[in-house]
Amino acid sequence: MRLLIVEDSLKLASWLCKALAQHGYAVDQTHDGVRADALLRTQAYDAVVLDLSLPGMDGLAVLQRMRERGTGTPVVVLTARGDLGDRVKGLNLGADDYLAKPFELAELEARLQAVIRRAHGVSAPTVRFGPLEYDSIGRVFALHGQRLQLRPKEHAVLEVLLLRMGKVISKAALYEHVFAIDASTGQDVVEIYIHRLRKHLSGTGLSIVTLRGLGYVLEAG
């Protein structure tokens, strides 16, 4: 899953990026509202963590422009504790959730997972597709009840495919959802992870099908 952190505190942004990257997310960051608006126009994200006090353009303006463009990417707004006015404004402009500072990383991650699931029409924390089960809170895959041991990028690719529940995703889009903007690899690396996942899924009743010219789809049966 690829996240955008928009936070004017360099220290907090750096900490968030490192911590979330260690948990398997691909993370981009910016400290400026104008830059955030530009990134959201050109890049694909699974969720945005958006501070409201930003130089260049405040967070509410960034959020408003997103929604006016029809961008449905989930947004978790960061607010000062007790600032009810900003929370209300953010929710009215289309924020999916809010979190008051200071906060615990575990709570932020739980809220991110929740808004990402809802964006894909999944409400329960455990996602099931045939014999595959994904605990989005513990971020653990199980196949026929047995934990699936995956490398971080394999996990990220399978998570993207699973949340689409049988829908096709192109190689370019899959790459965008798994790698940060400063990644040094090209899109063809996706094929390596697809190949590895097919080995994990072999004989399970699940398959990752390549649709030439369209992309990949996770199928059951």
169-184 pLDDT, tens per residue? Answer: 999 999 999 999 988 8
Q: Cite the DSSP H helix spans in the chain.
A: 10-22, 33-42, 59-68, 84-92, 105-119, 152-163, 171-178, 189-201
| Terminal C-alpha separation, the chain | 26
Contact 183, 153 (CB under 8 A): no
Instruction: Kindly report which listed range (2-6, 103-107, 130-134, 162-166) carries the lowest average pLDDT score.
Output: 162-166
Domains of the chain: 2-119 (3.40.50.2300), 126-220 (1.10.10.10)
Q: What are 216's strand-pairing partners? A: 169, 210
Q: What is the pLDDT of residues 71-93, one digit of tens each?
A: 999 999 998 766 778 778 888 99
Q: What is the pTM of this model?
A: 0.90
Looking at residue 110, its pLDDT comes to 93
Contact 218, 194 (CB under 8 A): no
Looking at residue 81, its pLDDT comes to 60
Q: With pLDDT > 90 as the criterion, what percentage of the chain qualifies?
A: 80
Looking at residue 221, its pLDDT comes to 72
Strand order in the sheet with 146-147: 126-129, 132-135, 140-143, 146-147
Q: Cite the DSSP H helix spans in 25-104.
A: 33-42, 59-68, 84-92
Helix 84-92 vs helix 59-68: crossing angle, to nearest 10: 10
Which is more confident, 183 or 27? 27
Average pLDDT, the chain: 92
